[in-house]
Amino acid sequence: DTGVSQDPRHKITKRGQNVTFRCDPISEHNRLYWYRQTLGQGPEFLTYFQNEAQLEKSRLLSDRFSAERPKGSFSTLEIQRTEQGDSAMYLCASSPGLAGARNEQFFGPGTRLTVL
């Protein structure tokens, strides 16, 4: 399977715990994105990397959230001191990073986080 992969697929944690999610993009894609989706809403942008550089961060990304892409391949998203409001589906996407408009994003299966 050469699509975007995410791990774990489901995570249940207690409030106050830290969690970390991993995303492996499509191998030739140099752009990687994180989104969050709650029930009844479309995905909301969190952050984006071009290779290893984090180029954009949403105001939604509080200081409890941190994302890395150390070697420009896989990425991790960490949430510290989780709150019940963090419960959501966390989606990762990647795109080729071509110049111009042709940069459709392809999504992974998501990590569903439940904070008790």
Partner 1 sequence: EDKVVQSPLSLVVHEGDTVTLNCSYEVTNFRSLLWYKQEKKAPTFLFMLTSSGIEKKSGRLSSILDKKELFSILNITATQTGDSAIYLCAISGAGSYQLTFGKGTKLSVIP
Single-letter amino acid code for the residue at 45: F
Of the listed pieces 15-23, 39-47, 69-77, 78-86, which binds partner 1 according to CB under 8 A?
39-47
Tokens of 18: 């830290």
Q: Which C-beta is closer to partner 1: that of 22 or that of 80?
A: 22
Q: Would you say 57 or 66 has its CB closer to partner 1? A: 57
The upper half-sphere exposure of residue 72, i.e. CA atoms within 13 Å in the direction of its Cβ, equals: 9
Nearest 5°: phi and psi at 50?
A: -115, 115
Q: Which is nearer to partner 1, 98 or 116 (CB)?
A: 98
Q: Mask: binding to partner 1, 54-93, rule CB under 8 A, as x and -? A: --x-x--------------------------------x--
State yes or no: residue 108 binds partner 1 (CB under 8 A): yes
SS3 86: helix
Residue 58 to residue 102: CA distance in whole angstroms: 23
31 sits near partner 1 (criterion: CB under 8 A): yes
Contact between residue 65 and residue 86 where contact means Cβ atoms under 8 Å apart: no
Contacts with partner 1 by CB under 8 A lie at: 4, 31, 33, 35, 40-45, 48, 56, 58, 91, 95, 101-110
